[in-house]
Chain A
Amino acid sequence: MRVLICEDNALIAMDLREMVEEAGHEAVGTATTSDICFDRAQAMRADIVLVDLNLADGRTGPVLVKRLAGEGIPSIVVSGELDYLPEDHGALALLEKPVSYVSLRDTLSRHDRSAKT
């Protein structure tokens, strides 16, 4: 799968990138704000987006997840602030930070399988 990473902490973004590639997917890029992420997700034809909730432009992750869903682009929220998400968040899955490689790999794998069936 083509995975876009929306995370404003460069270190965590690099780590997620490594994990995505180790899990056998393609990390197509990173974004640090919701607007940039929204544009890149479409331009790069991302199959899925990993979204932090607190981005460089503020706590804009929840709105980004809904905007992406509106365009048919699924997202996995990776955040330490999951309590800020509304119940109708529209994300495919929620992963609490710090995220482990195994939970990220398995979540991506589940989505990959369901997307192919």
Chain B
Amino acid sequence: MVDNNLEAPWHLDKRAHDIINATVAFAAILSPGGATLDVSKNALDAAGISLTDIVDRRFWEGYWFGHDPALQARLRDVVERGARGETSRFDIEVRVRGDRRLIVDFQIAPLRDENGRVTELIASGFDVSERERQKENLNSALRETSHRIKNILSTLSAMGRMTLIHGKGDLFDGFLKRLDALAAVHSIFGDGSKISSAPFDAITRQVLNPFLHGHEKVEVISGKKRILRDQAKQLGLCIHELATNSSKHGALHDGGTLSVSFTDPDGDGVTHFSWSETHAPKDTGSYTEGFGLPYVRNALRSLLMGEPVIEMQSDRFQILVDGPAPHIFEPLEGPGR
């Protein structure tokens, strides 16, 4: 039964007062009817109020709970339960100085005399805001990880089907080498939690490495801007497809020259990609497109938002793309690397 007159037969007990002030928890002593009898200093300081602002007032009307009528009603209910001898514990959001909020692990428990009669209620709470923030961060990270796994599975599934439909030669070997290329780019990003971008030359050299075998006539020119993780993987797969073709028919096969370039946006905001190779003369008439070149064309068009121009001659191969590439680079003010 909640007090209506709030005239609690209780006088500030110095020892009880000292005890609640010596705990790390926020604490208050209430009458069984809900009148506030005493409050710990840390709880008063957190709200920026004094004991006289709250003493003898209904506990749920205190500053800490005034922002939320539903919370006030719940507290009134658990005070009544406490008076009947029940202990209640749950997390609540309390208001503190400056209209900030804290998450508090809150409890109301009855205190009984030697006859078992409830004489006071003890309200206490721990600030668990940081724990809740960490829990939220963890949940967010788990959710992000789940999304990434689904995207990886989608990429692998698409890569498998595309290899099956459009691949040439040993399809399984082709699939595994594409997987190796993706893994090579992925390895630049470590555990994936802190590094969210990479420079073009790091991506390209990582993918080209298995094709080089001491080949010295390879040049990689890179701007300073860093390429975002998902875009880096698509670009890495483009480099892999171009290098695979080159290792079969071009510069990486017969010791020609290869130059790969990816610039920062120029004064007009245009980014330039080029893959240029020279090689021994060969017949291009019998060349048929498999999976690689259509993928490269689509991916570069999508990444740079420009139309790829492909030039294939008997002694050289070149692909050039100019475009605004609006979503490929890590913003300067972006997250940590």
Contact = CB atoms under 8 A, between A and B. Distances in A.
Nearest to B327: A56
Interface in B145-163: 146-147, 149-151, 153-159, 161-162
Contacts of B24: none
Q: Contact residue range for chain A?
A: 20 to 34
A10 B235 CA distance: 10
- The main secondary structure of chain B at its interface with chain A is helix
Contact of A11 (B153, B159, B327): B159
A14 B302 contact: no
Contacts of A32: 302, 305, 327
B230 interface: yes
Interface in B129-148: 143, 146-147
B302 A12 contact: no
Q: Contact residue range for chain B?
A: 20 to 34
B154 A98 contact: yes
Interface string B149-188: 1110111111101100100000000000000000000000
Given A9-B230, A11-B162, A14-B295, A99 B154 contact: yes
Contacts of B302: 8, 10, 13, 30, 32, 56
Contacts of B165: 18
A17 B263 CA distance: 31
Contacts of A18: 161-162, 165
- Candidate in B154, B299, B301, B305 with the most chain A CB atoms within 10 angstroms: B154
